[in-house]
Amino acid sequence: MDETTIPASGLKPRISVIGTGYLGATHAAAMAEMGFDVIGVDTDPTKVEALSAGRVPFYEPGLPELIVEHVASGRLRFTSDLADAVATSDVHFICVGTPQRRGSHSANLSYVEAATKAVAEALSHDGLIVGKSTVPVGTAARLRKLVAEAKPEGVEAQVVWNPEFLREAHAVEDTLRPDRIVFGGTDAKSEALLRTVYAEPISTGTPVISCDLATAELVKVSANAFLATKISFINAISELCEVAGADVSVLADALGHDDRIGRKFLNAGLGFGGGCLPKDIRALMYRANELGAGRVVGLMQEVDEINMLQRQRVIDQAIDACGGSVLNRKIAVLGAAFKPDTDDVRDSPALNVAAALHLRGAQVLVMDPEASVTAQRSFPTLSFADTLDEAVTDADVVLLLTEWKIFVTADPEHLAELAANPVVLDARNALDASVWSAAGWEVRPLGGRVVPRQRRVLESAALPA
């Protein structure tokens, strides 16, 4: 890279963020919080208008406040004018989506390719193009060729990769205080520039890993593949625990004390969903198959299948709890999002189970504190409750499918009085079974022993006046 890529001494690089979806909006706001002048670019003028007013089209704790603060400070603005954003910026982060291609497990790279080419064509001075999107290995090398052909003559541009590691519901914190930063394909000048961009987290001890492009591309999908494997492992063990009369939660606690294993992601339950893990492991399988890495394909196939079978296990248990048929039974489904503290319902296990029971003739009523609107768009045939009490009233069985705090900390004695048959299927192993049992509930954890109710609900009602 030419020396002119790095701003004059004492000046911070100006940043453009291409794509203002979940990743891009969060990254743009976090960069502004770190003191940079940031322009977020999106082809959707409605989204640009909303973000400029501090309205975020998804639920992510802390993000709307951060956007409002830095739009007001002048450090953050949003536009549909990519040429203007590129002309006034030095570092260009590519943050567009890579959804699963229709009819295939491969990643749709058309948005990444279009965004990268558009930035290259709009360059008016030397720039650093930084890919953050999750892409199949080999993509960045191809993008380098695309940029070399598309950029104006006399302008220097380099493509490097800096994968994201955001967790939904923790995205702001993960960007401001990441547990690691990966630079792929950098030379001395581009790495120096990226170290300037990430100077704040680096100064607090965040480790930096510099590597080649291919390794950087594989880090995110490999991390997700490992987490998915860990979840599917404990879910496979939970089935053994059920038939053997063991308790998978206690087992997981015991395993977690081994620092080679750790307790995180060892929670047996309904399994993983969302917009990352399922998509990423399938894209990894597809790319590994293309490259002839068959063992990766076989392993991920088994992980994916175990995860999907968890949903059927919960459906079967719900049917069993209703005496062998859910036809005309009222079922309260607590949770629609794929995990708590988000409104993301992509590949949501909770909604998959709810829809399956609805198709079997159950009267399903779903309650979620944040994801009801997005869930209704995806599953318009399902019914949704506004409150927890409404969902549980007259229910023949209650399914805890997303472990929102409002559900886990609810008053079980009050809810037992509302239910027609106080049986709860704890598909996330998040409830204190002894407390719920004492309050009159039969608790059916996934991968554990059924805990019978310790007293009859409303037993005092049978006493004489």
Q: Which residue in the list 95, 211, 241, 276 is annotated as catalytic? A: 276
Closest CA to 58 of 163, 169, 175: 169
Q: Is 211 a catalytic residue?
A: no
- Beta pairing, strands 397-400 & 330-334: parallel
3-state SS string for the chain:
CCHHHCCCCCCCCCEEEECCCHHHHHHHHHHHHCCCCEEEECCCHHHHHHHHCCCCCCCCCCHHHHHHHHHHHCCEEEECCHHHHHHCCCEEEECCCCCECCCCCCECCHHHHHHHHHHHHHCCCCEEEEECCCCCCCHHHHHHHHHHHHCCCCCCEEEEECCCCCCCCCHHHHHHCCCCEEEECCCHHHHHHHHHHCHHHHHCCCCEEEECHHHHHHHHHHHHHHHHHHHHHHHHHHHHHHHHCCCHHHHHHHHHCCCCCCCCCCCCCCCCCCCCHHHHHHHHHHHHHHHCCHHHHHHHHHHHHHHHHHHHHHHHHHHHHCCCCCCCCEEEEECCCCCCCCCCCCCCHHHHHHHHHHHCCCEEEEECCCCHHHHHHHCCCCEECCCHHHHHCCCCEEEECCCCHHHHCCCHHHHHHHCCCCEEEECCCCCCHHHHHHCCCEEEECCCCCECCCCCCCHHHHCCC
Residues catalogued as catalytic: 276
